[in-house]
Structure 1
């Protein structure tokens, strides 16, 4: 009943306003009369007669004609409607038209009777929709298969590795090698399974292994972040809040799930801790839009200076940590040579993280294919005093 009264009142007020404006536009202005014009014409005629009778000199007659003509022009100008009045009339016409169209347009496009939806209610609905999205298993079933050419000898070696890991399922080095090679073949689901078992053996010390698992799950789902993958990424961030891969993937899933406020926080943090990440350019490209939708005034981060020693102490630590985390994420995802793994080991040692340095040595050693590379990693471990 209240809604009916409201709409009746609103409709009546709109109709009255539109009618008043339309009346003002359509009403014809009263014509302006200029009776003085006839008087001035008569004066000119009498002036000609006076000149003919020699009652007025020619010089005085010219002066009088100029004055009478000037007064005629002023009277004629006063009789014409001004351009300002015409413009005002068109303005009133436009307002009248918009007023008349406002109510039917809202009834067509709006939602009469729909209650105001506060921020808390909107967030609750978005989160309910995100919780109802497809599972990891459903996403993997519909994900396109990896179309990668496989060299038969290499495929045979990977099969031997699978058999060896099946025979010794708790071999950490074998599992790490299997994760890397399954991922190289595009078998991300199998790589995620091996990575999950690796984590269950307690080899994760700083959240990087969980970040790797989350990335493998996302790749197995064709780039989609499932609820299960999101849970893994959150666990990784709970152990290491600066884990670059987890921050990046969490930011992307929040952006796609209608939470630009959270996407901004994750991605802005990811940009700070991973100055050399492969996805950095893509994130910088989408950040203006995400910041706008989040209602945040965002300034792109400056390029990291080459001379870290020139930074303040707190910024030095942050820059070094970001570079180390970025290197670790890249090696875990794409692999690298012995020199890169040794660089990561030394970086962890400098940061006072000996367990992480030993973990990098184990992962790098498992990824090497020659005895010389493995020996170089062993020597680097001994040089650091971490045997």
Structure 2
């Protein structure tokens, strides 16, 4: 008897939970979902830039990319299901939702009576293959996300980032041929952008287990011709030339790439290994090959760019790390009014920086604390709300 009472109580709770969202106004969740989509897309682009500059290795990049992709797919699902409306639910809709809810409960109960076993003990935790269960759950979840992304791309075939995301996801889940098709669609949607061509060619090489056909070679050549700074395309173009036994051409491509790359980047050692292999296979001397004039010009440009980015990171770190020792010594000799003015100046700098980089959650936390110390509770509350928004809580 107690079992059926529990069933009735749980059914009532389930109906309430199912109906509750219908009684509340929608608070423009669609806009929030669009914002999250843009954030995750920016994170994917930043991840690719970090990988290209050698700030992270390939394994770290793939791990981070899968997590960002999962969140992006979840945000896209949220956007698709959300409607911006503040109207109350009509009586007809409420009746239909109630009938559906009751039907679900009744159907579940009938199914349980048919195949269920009340009172039957659960499977012991120790005897379960948890790793297999996790793999199955992950595989099923990823398949659903892929299907959802495909549906989104049917409605928006010009979404280049969506096609790229689908291609990466299909490759990670062991579906290389489908990944090639996704990247081919990305090439079309991007109007043959050089970086997309490089990813397309890479996917074809992986799908064919290292073989290079005419389409792959042409895509790589087109990418480098249109944008000589495409390092991924240069690497695979050298690989393609080596496959066709053009060892001198391969060495020249990789020599140019080595000249363009920063000296501390992790994959430079692999490039040098490839040069040695090509030189040995073609009976050539690698010292006879020098960087082209184009590669030397690009090298200088990249060097200036990376130095500027390094300087910006250092400036950002100094802005967020608090006052320096010189600032502390100067503050000790100030009057209370001068100290407060100095503090407010530092706070304004932090606030201005956060306007340019609004996703810096640690910066918002510091800003909230400082505003509380200064007694500006309204501004502190705004900063705390921004922290909650970024943390999703």
Q: Report if TM-score (shorter chain) is over 0.5.
A: no
TM-score, normalised by the number of residues in structure 1: 0.38
The normalised TM-score by structure 2 is 0.37
